[in-house]
Amino acid sequence: MKRILTATLALSLLSGTAAVADPGHDNGKHKGWDKQDKYERKAHKRWARGQHLPPQYYRDSSYYVDYRVHHLREPPHGYRWVHVDNDYLLVAVATGLIASIIIANSY
C-alpha cells in the first residue's frame, strides 16, 4: 500500500511539472506580450544633454510646446521647449543642442 501511494505521488508530481514546463506553441506570444511589443518599447529614443536633436524636431513648430501650459520653466532667449517621444527637451533653436530634458511618464 505504501509503494502504491509513493508511486502515485511521484507520478502526480512529475506530470504536474511537465504541464507547467510546456509553454505552449503560440508563435512567441505570451499573455498579451509579443516580440513586436518588445521592439516598440526599444524604439523610444533616450535623449541626453549635449546631444543634437534632429532638425525636423526643432525647426518644425508643431513640436514646440507652451512652457506655461506644461508647467516648465521659461526657456532662455534662443531656446524652445519641444515635445519629442513623450519627453520635453529644452533645445537651442539655432543648433538643436539639448540643454535640458524632462522625461515624461508614459504610464
CATH number at 81 reads 3.10.450.160
- Per-residue pLDDT at 41: 47
Please count the structural domains in the chain.
1
Positions of the chain with pLDDT under 70: 1-2, 5-44, 105-107
| Residue 10 within a domain | no
**What is the grid cell recorded at 104?**
515624461
The string of DSSP codes covering 13-58 is HHHHHHHHH----STT-BTTB-HHHHHHHHTS----TTPBPPHHHH
- Per-residue pLDDT at 38: 46
Task: Count H helices and E strands in the chain, helices first.
Answer: 3, 3
| Residue 2 within a domain | no
- Per-residue pLDDT at 104: 77
| 58, 63, 65, 70: CA torsion to nearest 10 | -120
| Residue 99 within a domain | yes
Q: How far apart are CA 58 and CA 79, in angstroms?
A: 10
Q: Which domain range does residue 93 map to?
A: 47-107
| Residue 72 within a domain | yes
